Chain A
């Protein structure tokens, strides 16, 4: 049952459909704005300026190169937060397509994530352009971006599969996501560094372990910052161990997401 209409074949039969959905997202998002794609990095840029003023000049953060340290983590953060916000509502938003065509529904969250990945790519282009004006060299450690982003994509897709399924039954989800992601922003080493956490007198060693093991995003953000700015000199001992735990989290969350999705996706057309 549930045959699809068309004849898509080959190794990735629905890849063209995903490309079409991503194209649509990008075209529609910037349809009526004069600055178009520039917004995808103007917005983060403005937020970075604000956060730099607050944390460096008002609160007196001792981090050197604060805005660059922030920038390297801020782009992947925006990618995460925006993907989550878009991803949770993506099936509900595309209900007209869901009720009209019999395509595999999973290409909706996948293409939603892919559109945000395109924005992230553009953001990195700007970041690298800024690097060219600074005494920072673009080096081989930048290749770390690929495995780190792969892990982040698995994690985000897994969360989106759960959230968009939940959104079908409880639309409250979209109100909750905003505050939860804001909390997440401060739980990850973005406006502060992981060294500051490790050197804190007020956190017991147990809390420090929980900080590194319990939040799969923490090792990823340590990774982005270290790969882009510190030539792969990891700021904590046993970084690969913590990254490995983060990878386990990502795989686990993706697996649970796929399980939840597979149990409910066939009912989506009648729920939207």
Chain B
């Protein structure tokens, strides 16, 4: 592919299982005498795919299939355990709502903090401040602590901040559902626009209509393995019929 923004080869991610209990000195001490085999979970297991500039790719799969892990790897938050991952360009992510906002700070302060932690300079954030506030439609709420926001309002702020910097790779993880119809339409339209400008959009969602509307291509993950990668309608049909079989339908 001429301009692949994301290339993953045999991409794998392993987590250590913690079994509810937090590790403690006591357990470390007992472990000195009694060896517990470490238990691992392969959240992603040898996944190959690439995403080109201007593509919108949906990612579907059951809970715990590795969708969020994949987005966090692409976003540079997790480091792969094995395999290769190349991401060309800046990423912008919407992972789990409201997470990442500081509840006691107002919207404006949170935009500054988010922008800074994404690695943008003071002037880059300042230049986009007004358009972020406008896009979020939060009005006077922008000067109110974020802890008073509804989840829909938090989505508006998070989405507006993430897209404002027009990243080459946009990662949207299962957050759009809390937005009202008006904002969802506006947000998807904006993602389309960024896509047409050459950004790659990765959308994790359990809402098949949204995936159908937004994506030309879908990746199906299950238990860390890539089961299908192809045109939206085909993959969704296979995925849904597999679910029916599983449920004994």
Residues of A near any B CB (own CB < 8 A): 1-10, 13-14, 16-17, 19-21, 23-24, 27-28, 31, 96-103, 169-172, 266-267, 269-270
Contacts and interface: CB of A to CB of B under 8 A. Distances in A.
Contacts of A269: 72, 77-78
A96 B102 CA distance: 9
Contacts of A98: 77
| Top 7 closest pairs, chain A to chain B, by CB | A6-B119, A100-B100, A102-B76, A17-B116, A101-B117, A8-B119, A20-B116
A28 B78 CA distance: 28
Contact of A1 (B23, B80, B122): B80
10 contacts: A7-B90, A7-B121, A14-B119, A20-B117, A24-B109, A28-B105, A100-B77, A102-B76, A102-B91, A170-B23
A20 B112 contact: yes
B113 interface: yes
Nearest to B122: A16
A27 B109 contact: yes
Given A16-B122, A96-B99, A270-B15, A27 B104 contact: yes
Contact of B24 (A7, A28, A172): A172
A4 to B, nearest CB: 5
A5 B168 CA distance: 10
Nearest to A32: B104
A100 B72 CA distance: 8
A8 B114 CA distance: 13
A6 B23 contact: no
Nearest to A265: B79
B116 A16 contact: yes
A100 B96 CA distance: 8
B107 interface: no
Contact of B104 (A1, A10, A31): A31
Given A7-B120, A101-B77, A103-B117, 7 more contacts: A1-B80, A5-B90, A6-B119, A16-B121, A17-B117, A24-B109, A97-B100
B165 interface: yes
Given A27-B104, A101-B100, A270-B78, A21 B118 contact: no
A24 B99 CA distance: 16
A23 B109 CA distance: 9
A8 B120 contact: yes
Contacts of A97: 100, 117
A3 B76 CA distance: 5
B66 interface: no
Interface of B: 15, 22-26, 28, 72, 75-80, 85, 87, 90-93, 95-96, 99-102, 104-105, 109, 112-122, 124, 165, 167
B104 A2 contact: no
A90 to B, nearest CB: 14
A23 B108 CA distance: 13
A31 B105 CA distance: 9
Contact of A20 (B22, B24, B113): B113
Residue of A23, A102, A172 with highest tally of chain B CB at under 10 A: A102
Contacts of A266: 79
A30 to B, nearest CB: 10
A17 B122 CA distance: 9
Contacts of B112: 20
Given A7-B90, A24-B109, A171-B24, A2 B76 contact: yes
A5 B99 contact: no
Contact of A6 (B77, B80, B100, B120): B120
A8 B125 CA distance: 11
Residue of A2, A13, A100 with highest tally of chain B CB at under 10 A: A100
A172 B28 CA distance: 11
A170 B116 CA distance: 30
Contacts of B22: 171
A98 B78 CA distance: 10
Contact of B99 (A9, A100, A171): A100
A169 B25 CA distance: 9
A50 B185 CA distance: 63
Nearest to B15: A270
B121 A8 contact: yes
B102 A103 contact: no
A27 B106 CA distance: 11
